[in-house]
Structure 1
Amino acid sequence: MEIRENYIVPLGYGKFVRSDKIIALEPIEDERGPGRRTKVYVEEVPYPITASRTENAIVSNIVETPRETLEAIAAFELLQDILDDIDKIGSMLRNSIKKEAGLDLGKIQKRIEEILGHQIGSEPS
């Protein structure tokens, strides 16, 4: 993959940086508030910029990536978001959903974890 030079990358919140000035990306995992997704380290900026986009979305703007890879990344990001949301649902509500709608969130959660576990071991480089 090659870095696109002089390409403007949107970070969200009306922030933009040049693709060839981004040094590092760090996903925000703990206490992630609304829209807080990634710390972006930029050349000659003394502190990281908080982006409302995932590191994969930002990387897809920085480098030339085949469309199939971008679609797969988006699908895995969606699964991770669903998994995060399911994890917040308590057992009483899970039981109610299973009883009322026949939807077993525990089974869905395990399946998503399996899929994401396989994806981590075979990430494209």
Structure 2
Amino acid sequence: MEIRENAIIPLGYGKFVRSDKIVALDPIEENRGPGRRTLVYIENLKNPIVASRTETSILANMSKTPKEVLEATSAMELLQDILDDIEQIGPMLRKSILDEAGLDLDRIQRKIEEILTHDLDSIGE
């Protein structure tokens, strides 16, 4: 993978960094949510910056990647972001949303998980 030099990469919420200064991306596993997706380690900074974007989307912006891959990555990132947000919704609110709006978040969650799992399986092939 080739990193684009001197490209400004958005990290979300008005944070930007030069692509060739990023030395590591670490997905946040615990306490992940809106505004907290990835730790971005930057050359000459002691502490990482918390980015609201996923490591996949940041990496896609950093690298010279074909347009089709970038589009697929963006779609998968969006699904992952939606899944992360749905997972934060408790059972009582899920029931209320189903009753009031007819939106079955459990079904949507399962479908997104199937899509993401299928996409990861096809990458391994």
Q: So what's the TM-score if we normalise by structure 2? A: 0.78
Aligned residues between the structures: 124
Distance 1:46 1:83 in 2: 32
Task: Give the counterpart letter for 1:88 in structure 2.
Answer: Q
Counterpart of 2:119? 119
Q: How far does residue 97 in structure 1 lie from its aligned partner after superposition? A: 4.2
Distance 1:23 1:98 in 2: 44
Counterpart of 2:70? 70
Structure 1 segments unaligned to the other structure (5+ residues): none
Aligned-pair identity in percent equals 67
Counterpart of 2:6? 6
The CA RMSD measured in Å over matched residues stands at 2.4
3-state SS of 1:122 partner: helix
Task: Give the counterpart letter for 1:15 in structure 2.
Answer: K
Counterpart of 1:80? 80
3-state SS of 2:25 partner: strand
- Higher Rg: 1
What whole-Å deviation, never above 9, does each CA across 1:71-98 have from its counterpart, x for those lacking one? 2112112222222233233334444544
Counterpart of 2:19? 19
What whole-Å deviation, never above 9, does each CA across 1:47-94 have from its counterpart, x for those lacking one? 212222221221122111122211211211222222223323333444
Counterpart of 1:57? 57
Task: Give the counterpart letter for 2:64 in structure 1.
Answer: E
Task: Give the counterpart letter for 1:89 in structure 2.
Answer: I
Say if 1:49 and 1:93 are closer, same or farther in 2 by CA, change over 3 A: closer
Q: So what's the TM-score if we normalise by structure 1? A: 0.78
Structure 2 segments unaligned to the other structure (5+ residues): none
- Counterparts of residues 95-110 of structure 1 (less than 5 Å): 95-99=95-99, 101-110=101-110
| Range with greater deviation from structure 2 (77-86 or 60-69) | 77-86
| Range with greater deviation from structure 2 (89-98 or 60-69) | 89-98
Distance 2:21 2:78 in 1: 28
Counterpart of 1:39? 39
3-state SS of 2:23 partner: strand
Distance 2:45 2:100 in 1: 53
